[in-house]
């Protein structure tokens, strides 16, 4: 057992893979709507419809891969293929910027970029459970912090590149980062200690392993995920259209939030034993709702910068705690549970992109943030209710035992 606790190149490669995946997301996400609407010329409704199509495709891809991951001996090839397809998706828009390439990339290829993250997390959790028993939850927190670190480094650099060369170049950065992730998994394939144990058959089926209180919690996580994705699409346009910000300032805004998220993630993690996952998600959802409502009222870029403290405080928990929460949703099936988070994300993208494309705003993007705030508050209440339901169930079992 002692040799298992020695440092392993696999752990370092997992951290590198998630950092590079984070680089890809941090480079492209703040500028996705700007590229589609301002650079390529797609109107807001068509962009929303394209994101909707990508969400539907992503739900199918994510759940299929997640179910398959729990049945194969080696999870590495799936993550490798997802990263490679994501690189093609980003590279297509960068090399051939057109409505056709953007629609094809967003609707058919980019779902694999989302799947790359979930497949990497699922493989990481399975590897740590096999090779570092009892360390999986702590490892997921560290890996999520590594992913967030990319959001500190990349947005200012991407903003500078977008402002000095072309905003399309951020998709080139994302493509190269995904190729780096692909290379990391190629190296992982050569490591004999990088394999994971095939999970045992599920006793009682998914229904027994996925209790009703957890289903309520998943609905709450969905409610919390929609406003996160809605603000990712909306805030860059609020900055540039409503507040007159430059492309560089869009990157700075994202970097401020990411830099603050890292210490906040560690702080929220320390509170898990005292508060529990559901209570933390409920509190964070209310904080994030307050940020969105306040952001809908700002009139200057410095005010938006200042609000990133509130944003980071709420969003840090919503981004990190949900991973551990969802990985424990379906007992004994880390791949399917992690893919369920992926399914929640793409379902949230479906809802968020529909709201983005069709909600009347009167020429300003800020009213969309009020909608996001209301959804975040509702999601927080639902997750909290799932905890109340779980506590009530435990109380009934205790009384029955007496």
pTM: 0.70
State the residue range of the domain holding 285: 2-401
Least confident of 24-33, 35-44, 365-374, 386-395: 386-395
Which of residues 24 and 259 earns the better pLDDT score?
24
The per-residue pLDDT for range 152-211, each reduced to its tens digit, is 788 888 888 988 999 999 999 999 999 999 999 999 988 877 766 555 455 445 444 556
Is pLDDT at 81 greater than 50 in this prediction?
yes
DSSP for residue 199: P
The per-residue pLDDT for range 299-319, each reduced to its tens digit, is 999 999 999 999 999 999 998
How does the average pLDDT of the chain come out, rounded? 83
DSSP for residue 134: T
In 3D space, the residue among 237, 246, 21 whose CA is nearest the CA of residue 150 turns out to be 21
Contact predicate 20/177, CB 8 Å: yes
Element (H, E) at 252: helix 247-275
Number of domains in the chain: 1
pLDDT score of 122: 79
pLDDT score of 203: 47
In 3D space, the residue among 315, 300, 292 whose CA is nearest the CA of residue 368 turns out to be 292
Least confident of 26-35, 60-69, 112-121, 206-215: 206-215
> Crossing angle, helix 212-237 and helix 277-295, to 10 degrees?
30
pLDDT band at 33 (very low <50, low <70, confident <90, very high): confident
The CATH number for 70's domain is 1.20.1250.20
């Amino acid at each position: 057992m002692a040799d298992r606790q020695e440092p392993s190149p696999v752990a370092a490669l997992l951290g590198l893979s998630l950092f590079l995946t984070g680089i890809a997301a941090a480079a492209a996400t703040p500028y996705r709507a700007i590229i589609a609407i301002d650079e390529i010329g797609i109107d807001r409704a068509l962009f929303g419809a394209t994101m909707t199509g990508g969400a539907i495709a992503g739900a199918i891809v994510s759940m299929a891969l997640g179910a398959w991951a729990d049945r194969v001996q080696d999870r590495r090839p799936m993550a490798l293929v997802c990263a490679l397809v994501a690189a093609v998706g980003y590279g297509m828009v960068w090399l051939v910027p057109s409505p056709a390439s953007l629609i094809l990339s967003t609707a058919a290829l980019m779902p694999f970029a989302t799947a790359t993250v979930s497949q990497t997390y699922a493989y990481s959790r399975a590897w740590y459970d096999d090779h570092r028993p009892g360390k999986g939850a702590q490892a997921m927190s560290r890996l999520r912090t590594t992913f967030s670190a990319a959001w500190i480094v990349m947005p200012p650099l991407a903003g500078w590149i977008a402002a000095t060369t072309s905003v399309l170049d951020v998709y080139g950065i994302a493509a190269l980062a995904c190729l780096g992730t692909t290379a990391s998994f190629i190296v992982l394939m050569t490591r004999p200690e990088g394999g994971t144990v095939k999970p045992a058959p599920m006793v009682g089926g998914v229904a027994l392993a996925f209790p009703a209180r957890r289903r309520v919690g998943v609905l709450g996580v969905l409610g919390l995920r929609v406003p996160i994705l809605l603000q990712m699409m909306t805030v860059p346009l609020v900055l540039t259209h409503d507040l007159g910000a430059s492309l560089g300032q869009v990157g700075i805004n994202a970097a401020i939030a990411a830099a603050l998220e890292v210490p906040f993630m560690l702080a929220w993690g320390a509170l898990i034993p005292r508060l529990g996952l559901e209570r933390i998600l409920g509190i964070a959802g209310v904080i994030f709702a307050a940020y969105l409502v306040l952001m809908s009222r700002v009139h200057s870029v410095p005010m938006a910068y200042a609000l990133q403290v509130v944003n980071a405080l709420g969003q840090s928990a919503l981004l990190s705690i949900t991973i551990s929460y969802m990985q424990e949703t379906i007992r004994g099936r880390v791949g399917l549970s992690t893919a369920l988070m992926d399914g929640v994300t793409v379902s949230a993208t479906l809802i968020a992109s529909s709201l983005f494309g069709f909600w009347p705003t009167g020429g300003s993007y800020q009213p969309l943030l009020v909608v996001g705030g209301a959804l975040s508050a509702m999601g927080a209440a639902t997750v909290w209710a799932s905890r109340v339901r779980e506590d009530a169930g435990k109380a009934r079992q205790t009384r029955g035992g007496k």
